[in-house]
Amino acid sequence: MYRFLLSRQWVILTLIALLLIPTMIRLGIWQMHRYEERTARNQLVSDALAAEPVPVESLTSPGHTVTTHERYRTVTAKGHFDTGDEVVVRRRTNSDDEVGYHVLTPFVLDDGKVLLVNRGWIPADAPSQTTFPKVPAPPRGELTVEGRLMPDETTASSGIKDLKGLPDRQIMLINSAQEARRLGAEVLGGYIAQTAPEPKGGSPELLGDPGKEDAALNFAYAIQWWLFSAAVPVGWAVLARREARERARAASRGKPAEAEPAAV
């Protein structure tokens, strides 16, 4: 009754089913790995944001590469802003996806080292992109700033091209090594996204907390792929039984059975 399984059409259908099953299983495993990676990253972010603030120089120093476990840690620094060497970072968006600039201001520590402080976002309201935008001034004098420690930006890590020939005091990437050469000073590795003190008038607009990745979606995709892999042999068996029944009915009526597999 099942000799039709040796026909060309059914051999092809069976081979496709045998290929789909391991492929779907592997896709489910890949999605589960993505779920575990995203869950781990989310936990790192949560732990970093929940940790008590520490002095910035306890986590970074000139030439230091900020690690995954140091990223987003809240740090404090005492010193003063140097607006004379302030620059803006081009093509940055705010929480409403409006394109503008990030304001990067050197913060001179009491020991003379420099900490790069991203003071937040301002709109691109200058007459042209070659004109330096109007930047709200930071507090004057000695103060303590607080912010989230961030690693240096590179083209590889951010996907942003480090364009050359930009207008004066405009940059594409926040990179402590590049800024150290520009300033001729000892610059701590990485930079901080300022969280305190809050700017007067709400400008520059402070950067929001880092968002969490949707790890649950990857978990759902993994389960979905595994359910699909289980459905393939079930569907194959249903089709085969339906084909066998139709061939049996056709034989009882003396009619030839259809050569193609029955549709679902």
Q: Strand pairing of 74-81 and 87-93?
A: unpaired
The pLDDT of residue 55 is 98
The pLDDT of residue 126 is 73
pLDDT at 138 > cutoff 90: yes
pLDDT at 70 > cutoff 60: yes
pTM of the model: 0.76
pLDDT at 24 > cutoff 60: yes
Confidence of residue 125 (pLDDT cuts 50, 70, 90): confident
**Rounded percentage of the chain residues whose pLDDT exceeds 70:** 95
Burial of 158 (0-12, 13-18, 19+ CB in 10 A): middle
As a whole number, the mean pLDDT across the chain is: 91
Mean pLDDT of 87-105: 94
Q: From the DSSP assignment, how many helices (H) and strands (E) are in the chain?
A: 4, 8
Q: What is the torsional sign of CA 238, 244, 249, 255?
A: positive
Mean pLDDT of 228-257: 85
Nearest to 15 by CA among 226, 232, 225: 232
Mean pLDDT of 179-186: 97
The pLDDT of residue 255 is 60
Yes or no: say if 244 and 2 are a contact pair by the CB < 8 Å rule: yes
Nearest to 116 by CA among 183, 163, 169, 50: 183
The pLDDT of residue 264 is 44
- 183-227 pLDDT per residue, tens: 999 999 999 999 999 998 889 999 988 877 788 899 999 999 999
